[in-house]
């Protein structure tokens, strides 16, 4: 019961953090959409943009992993399959943002 409550709180907090980051990302994407490669590269090499984009990616994957995990809890009845699915989900929720951030830092 306590774990479910923690998960619910983390979902709400990450969702609240994700809303302004999503707004920032959408507005930034609109501003760089028709720009040249060098201007897009300049945007992603700016330290503030790197930080905000990294925070956005981490929060988005954290939120999606928690959300998808809830779907697994509701619809997968076999305990072993549920654990394997959650394991793959959590590993991918760490590895994919990590790779993205490493590539972003190396720009």
Tens-digit pLDDT profile for residues 35-62: 999 999 999 899 999 999 999 999 999 9
Average pLDDT over residues 75-88: 92
Question: In this structure, what DSSP letter does residue 33 have?
Answer: T
Beta strands in the chain (DSSP E): none
Average pLDDT of the chain?
Answer: 91
Report d(CA 94, CA 105) in Å as an integer: 17
Q: How far, rounded to the nearest angstrom, does the alpha carbon of residue 56 sit from its chain's CA centroid?
A: 6
More confident residue, 62 or 3: 62
């Amino acid at each position: 019961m306590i774990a479910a409550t923690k998960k619910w709180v983390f979902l709400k907090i990450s969702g609240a953090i994700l809303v302004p980051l999503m707004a920032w990302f959408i507005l930034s994407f609109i501003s760089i959409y028709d720009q040249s490669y060098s201007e897009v590269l300049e945007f992603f090499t700016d330290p503030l943009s790197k930080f905000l984009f990294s925070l956005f990616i981490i929060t988005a994957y954290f939120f999606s992993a928690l959300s998808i995990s809830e779907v697994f809890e509701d619809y997968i009845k076999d305990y072993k399959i549920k654990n394997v699915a959650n394991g793959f989900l959590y590993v991918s929720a760490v590895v994919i943002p990590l790779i993205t951030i490493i590539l972003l830092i190396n720009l």
